[in-house]
Structure 1
Amino acid sequence: MVALLVGLKLTLLRNSLRRSVWRTVGLVLGAVYALGIVVAAYAGLVALRWTSTTVTTQVTVLAYAALTLGWLLLSLLVFGVDETVDPARFALLPVRARELVPGLLAAALVGVPGAATVLLALGLVVTWARTPALAVAALVAAVLGTLTCVLLARTATSAFAASLSSRRFRDLAAVLLAVVGAGLGVGINVLSRAAVDNLDDLAGVLDRLVAVASWTPFGWAWALPGDVARGAWAQAGLHLVLATALVAGLAVAWTHVLGRRLTEPGTGGSGSATVGRAAWVERLYPPDAAGAVAVRSLRYWRRDPRHLATLASALVTPLVLFVVLGMNPDGATRLTVFVPAVLALLIGTSAAQDLSFDGSAVWLHISTGVPGADDRRGRVLASLTVFGPLLVVMHLVVAAVSGAWSDLPGAVGLSAALTLGGLGVGSWVGALWQWPGPAPGENPFQRGSSGGLPALASAMTVLTGTFVAGLPALALVVLGVLVDPLYGWAALPVGLLTGLVLLRVGMVQGGRLLDRRWPEVLRAVSERAA
């Protein structure tokens, strides 16, 4: 079964690369980037061989515990998990979950992230191979640590996806994502400040951090070589037992989740919903094609776990920045008034991915003859309905906290330029690039092999275009802070004007592009790796 699933993963990967040059280029770029990280890490690991075992323990435990935590958080918040070999496709076959787990685990390591993690884990053996006992301990730690990374990410995303598919828990899950990301950023800020304030006791700070990390699930496996090097055999045995139990427990939990997917493969959520009277906010939209698109998009934002996960991810960065700036002295709190502009910078990416989230349901727009301009305008209206109130509340809160009311007009002007300009750029880019996203009700953290470079190119293009759109307002804001507050007041009309102009241009040009490309759009969003 292991060889079969790995071979299937390789076949699917090969076929997907043949279908699109984007995927080939994306895979090559990802492999080159990962190789650079691995080479740099090996250089450091080799250099550690000439340091003391104490320093080696400090560096390796902290770095590899961060690697394990990164697998979990990045899978939840950013990249998702690659489910090219989707377990739900085996639902009609006479195969049990426990028979699939070893093969799916091996298939998860086939790819750039998995291969890079394996190489980095083997680097632990390189740096600790000083005695036979240390080499064996490092090899065991590498195996257990790699299994922990993959199983932790797979189990967490599968469990979280199951929660998000429930109407009862998905709103709470989105909030938890934001809280976890914000807590991580604040924790890093606190630790860095503690290190700077205690440079004379840096070794002591590192020892305390290692002591904490080694007794968390993220560091149990990676602490083994350091325990053996110190001769702390009791701690080494306890860490070995804990790491092994963690891997076994995660395997059991993942098997349970897979078993449910094999017996309940349906995406759910269809057939039971009823359409009632429109909510008051939906009656604000115009009674035309654009208004209908806006209502449908708003319902997606309210009910679709993928949109909730996107919203939570977008809120993480400004929330972390707000807390970090508020904790730092020397006038940094004044800068918090501009924190909402970070959220405004990211809003355009939601417009760029909206068509991809629709999937094959976009055929409804084609079959009913919805003009591309109305599609673009309706999606912009829905995005403004979601993010507009959030931005208003954030601006009022941060102005009240920082007391920098004189900077509020400039901050609002900058956010207006970034929001409206970003939606304009996203409307055009979204009509140019599409990719197949997870279907409604499926794992919102799933990352198939089909997104790849188009999704990355879309996000980077939108962010770059949005930043350029905000440059006039940003220049006036900087002058308002450094020279005269009147420049900040000027940023308000300038930001609104530039944002509205770019929004209009983006919707018109994006609509024209859609009118020419509707068949290509349907093919792009409907494609699945097979």
Structure 2
Amino acid sequence: MALGLTYATSHTLVRMRLSSFRHALKDQNRVSWIGAGAFCGLVLAGGTIWVAARGDNDGLVVALGIWMLGWVVGPLFAGGGDETLKPEYFSMLPLPPRTLSTGLLVAAVAGVAPVISLVALLSLVVAGAQLSVAAALIALPALVLQLFCFILASRLAVAVYGVLLQVRSGAVLAAVVNAFILAFAAQGWALIVAYVSTDVQGTVATAARIAPSGWGLAAVEAAGRGDWLEALLPLVGLVLLAAVMLIAWSALLVRRTTASHMSHKVRRPLSADGPSSAAAAKELRSWTRDLLYGHKAVFAVSYGLFFCMMPLALKATYMLPWAGPAAVIMAGAMASNLYGADGTALWTTLMTPGSAGPDVRARQRAFLLVFGPLTVLITVLFTWWAGDAGAWPLVLSVLPALLGGAAGLIVACSVWAAVPTTDAHKRSGNPLNSGENEGETMGLVYVMLVLVSVSAAPALVAALYWSWWGVPIGLLSGVLAWWYLGRLAINRLEQRGPELLTLLRHGRTVEEAKKKAQYESIPRWKRTLAGFCLGFAAIPLFPQALVPAIFLLTGNADTKSWFLALYVANPLRWLVIAGMAVLGLGMYAYGGLTYYNARKVSPAEAG
């Protein structure tokens, strides 16, 4: 009876998952992202099979460990992963927890990512075929069990992460992990170079064999030697591990769908002597009490630290002075949707006459109080640690410009380009998932990364040419950006506040939906290329053009790192920098003009 119920549940959930996937294919934008992700995944899977074909089992076991690590940490950084079928949807059905979790697990196999991982795991068959026919046959159950362990580890990690985000210490830990993942994606080359240039490869391969991701290969190698006991033990271990993870995931699903997350702790009431101080107190409490706010704050600061400290693996200290500015840039990007995060709570502000000004200024002051003192302290300590006297005027000029620019841009962007998200009181048991507009939210973050960085351009140029005179220019530009952009946000909120509330409550209007259809009228290949340009234009523009230009101007050209311009002869360095700058700006221009021209398409032509 229980087995029949599990089969029926799994069959139904798989059909629901496939139906949802077919529906997603009608959205050309999602198709583009799915296609690009599938292509990159297949390239990596092909590389894994190539490593196996070379007979490099040490390299293969490390590659499989990276695949499992990707399954675990990928969803943590990508908004909680693909939760097309949320457990909350089935909480009212009389299904035992393990029946539901088993059905969701089987349904999770019906996706693009599991298929790509299955292709990568075919490397076990390739490795086994080089040993013996028996080893190739053992590889078949091994790859199936390995795939289910990958998926279960991913689901369990998301569930544990969701639990952590519901307590303050857990939110801090989760933010640090996420920050390391993103910093490694940008600066992990330093750790990789340090790894390749030392004698730790064998140690890493040994550790990868001990990890569950290496058990399948251990079974294949044992079968190749004819040691059947050692071949069966890893397979039994994978079965037991999958069972334990399934039981743990089932328990967490029960907690997620039944537990109440309301806090009954008595809080100290707000005390204020006016609208401005009341709004400021409210905003400060949001940063310290709302776990997602705190998660973003810790994430931004941790990212700045990890991003600038990873080159220390190569004994390079040139990035240390920029840890504070990097944290401010990321903090501005993470806070780019303040009003969208408030959701329908905005009505309390709109219903209070004259509250727009105090509310906007309070958000700006809270941002500066949360990130200002900390980033100043980090900048001073890390610049002193680096021991580079020439970096002092640069970072002390850029930091106040970035703080003021970010404080102005976050409120202006929140008012003009708010993205509807799930209201705080309607968040699911997976706090990573903020609604159906994850793509728009991430797009807003990317745009803010560029805008906040550009806000420091005048101060940086002044510091490069006039040294310490850049400091007052940085202070002046920061104050002007804080005041002027805040004033624009206040005027916008006073004039268009009801429209903003309607957007946050009901989503896009008919006119806005037509505008989206206009964007979708762009040919798929052109839209994909434009998205690629907007997503990767920062690589040639900043690390390959701006950073080496700063190094040349400050006399740090010996720090070559991964900056292409510093590896060519001196007369050609500025040509390479100019070429990279033109390439980056051209990519931004192409992506921006592609979407700008789509606005000229009539609604009738857009369909």
User: What's the CA shift for 1:310?
Assistant: 1.6
Distance 2:237 2:437 in 1: 37
Q: What residue number does 1:458 align with?
A: 444
Structure 1 pair 287/146, CA: closer, same or farther in 2 (3 Å)?
farther
CA contact 2:337–2:419 (8 Å) conserved in 1: yes
Q: Does 1:387 align with 2:371?
A: yes
Could you tell me which runs of 5 or more consecutive residues in structure 2 were left unpaired when the two chains were aligned.
1-8, 508-607
- Whole-angstrom CA distance in 2 between matches of 1:523 and 1:11: 31
The 8 Å contact of residues 171 and 295 in structure 2, kept in 1 or not, is answered as: no
Q: TM-score, normalised by structure 1?
A: 0.80
Residue pairs, 1:194-273, within 5 angstroms: 194-197=195-198, 205-221=200-216, 223-229=218-224, 233-264=228-259, 266-269=260-263, 273=266
Q: CA deviation at 1:405?
A: 5.3
Alignment-derived partner of residue 335 in structure 2:
351
Q: Distance in 2 between matches of 1:13 and 1:508?
A: 45
Of 408, 414, 423, 1:430 maps to 414
Residue-pair matches, total: 495
* Alpha-carbon RMSD: 3.5
Instruction: State the alpha-carbon separation in 1 of the partners of residues 419 and 178 from structure 2.
Output: 27
| Corresponding residue of 2:481 | 502
Q: 2:296 aligns with which of 298, 310, 319?
A: 310
Partner Cα distance (1:249, 1:111) in 2:
23
| Contact 1:78 1:313 (8 Å CA) reproduced | no
2:101 is matched with which residue? 101
Contact 2:124 2:216 in 1 (8 A): no
Asked if 1:4 corresponds to 2:12, the answer is: yes
Shift in CA distance, 246/515, structure 1 to aligned 2, threshold 3 Å: farther
CA distance in 2: counterparts of 1:525 and 1:138, whole angstroms: 51
Question: Do the aligned partners of residues 296 and 449 (structure 1) sit closer, same or farther apart at CA in structure 2, a change above 3 Å counting?
Answer: closer
Q: Deviations over 1:212-259 (max 9, x none)?
A: 111023433455445544656554333223322221111110111112
**Change over 3 Å in CA distance of 1:413–1:518 after alignment to 2:** same
Give the residue type in structure 2 aligned to 1:150.
Answer: I
- Cα shift readout 1:407-429 (whole Å, capped 9, x = no counterpart): 33421221222232233333233
Q: Contact conserved, 1:35 with 1:116, CA < 8 A, in 2?
A: yes
**Map of 1:73 onto structure 2:** 73
Change (3 A) 1:425 1:3: farther
CA–CA separation in structure 2 for the residues paired with 1:142 and 1:369 = 64
CA separation in 1, counterparts of 2:501 and 2:216?
A: 47
Q: Which amino acid aligns with 2:487?
A: V
Distance 1:40 1:216 in 2: 24
TM-score by length of 2: 0.71
Shift of 1:501: 2.9
The 5 A counterparts of 1:362-377 are 362-368=346-352, 372-377=356-361
Letter in 2 for 1:75: P
**C-alpha distance in structure 2 between counterparts of 1:38 and 1:5, whole Å:** 25
Helix, strand or coil for the counterpart of 1:219?
helix
Deviates more, 1:211-220 or 1:495-504: 495-504
Residue type of the alignment partner of 2:282:
R
Contact in 1 for aligned 2:49/2:122 (Cα 8 Å):
no
Counterpart residue type for residue 215 of structure 1: I
Task: Give the aligned residue type for 1:5.
Answer: L
Question: Aligned residue for 1:202?
Answer: none
CA contact (8 A) 2:342 2:423 kept: no
Distance 2:148 2:431 in 1: 19
Is 2:64 the counterpart of 1:64?
yes
CA distance in 2, matches of 1:234, 1:39: 34
**Which amino acid in 2 is paired with 1:328?**
L
State the Cα deviation string for residues 375-418 of structure 1 (Å, max 9, x = none): 43322222112111211221232133223455334212212222
Q: Residue 497 of structure 1 aligns to which amino acid in structure 2?
A: L
**Residue in structure 1 matched with residue 541 of structure 2 by the alignment:** none
Q: Which amino acid aligns with 1:287?
A: G
Shift of 1:294: 3.2
Q: 1:261 to 1:326 in 2, by over 3 A?
A: closer
Please tell me whether the aligned partners of residues 34 and 116 of structure 1 are also in contact (alpha carbons under 8 angstroms): no
Give the Cα separation in 1 of the matches to 2:231 and 2:473. 63
* Alignment-mate amino acid for residue 147 of structure 2: T
Whole-angstrom CA distance in 2 between matches of 1:92 and 1:207:
51
Q: Hey, what does 2:317 align to over in structure 1?
A: 333
Percent of paired sites with the same residue = 25
Structure-1 separation of matches of 2:354 and 2:104: 42
**2:153 is equivalent to residue 160 of structure 1:** no
Contact 2:334 2:445 in 1 (8 A): no
Question: Equivalents in 1 of 2:12, 2:430: separation in Å?
Answer: 27
Secondary structure of 2:212's counterpart equals: coil
Asked if structure 2 preserves the Cα contact closer than 8 Å seen for 1:30 and 1:112, the reply is no
- 1:245 alignment partner AA: L
Distance 1:237 1:348, change over 3 A: same
Instruction: Give the whole-Å Cα distance in 1 for the aligned partners of 2:449 and 2:41.
Output: 28
Range that drifts further, 296-305 or 70-79: 70-79
After superposition, residues 400-419 of structure 1 pair within 5 angstroms as 400-404=384-388, 407-419=391-403
Structure 2 counterpart SS, 1:352 = coil
Alignment of 1:439 with 2:424, yes or no, is yes
Residue number among 38, 43, 52 corresponding to 2:41 in the alignment: 38
Task: State the SS of the aligned residue for 2:95.
Answer: coil
Specify the code of the residue in structure 1 equivalent to 2:407: L
Could you list the runs of 5+ residues in structure 1 that have no partner in the other structure?
Answer: 19-23, 199-204, 481-486
Partner residue, 1:484: none
2:348 maps to a residue whose letter is: L
Q: CA deviation at 1:293?
A: 3.6
Q: Which amino acid is the alignment partner of residue 460 of structure 1? A: Y
Shift of 1:493: 2.0
CA-CA distance at 1:327 after TM superposition:
4.5
Q: Which amino acid aligns with 1:257?
A: L
Q: Which has the higher contact order (CA 8 A, sep 6+)?
A: 1
CA deviations on 1:360-380 (whole Å, 9 max, x unpaired) are: 322322333566554433222
Give distance in 1, aligned partners of 2:231 and 2:256.
Answer: 37
Q: Which residue of 2 aligns with 1:27?
A: 30
Who is 1:201 aligned against? none
Counterpart for residue 148 of structure 1: 149
Change (3 A) 1:316 1:37: same
Deviation digits for residues 295-321 of structure 1 (CA, Å, limit 9, x no counterpart) = 223212111221222223223322223
- Counterpart of 2:177, as a letter, is L
- Distance apart, 1:466 and its partner CA: 1.5
Maintained 8 Å contact 2:309/2:319: no
- Report the CA distance between 1:351 and its aligned residue: 2.5
Letter in 1 for 2:314: N
Give 1:287-302 correspondences, 5 Å limit: 287-288=274-275, 291-302=277-288
Q: Aligned pair in 2 of structure 1 residues 5, 195: CA closer, same or farther (>3 Å)?
A: same
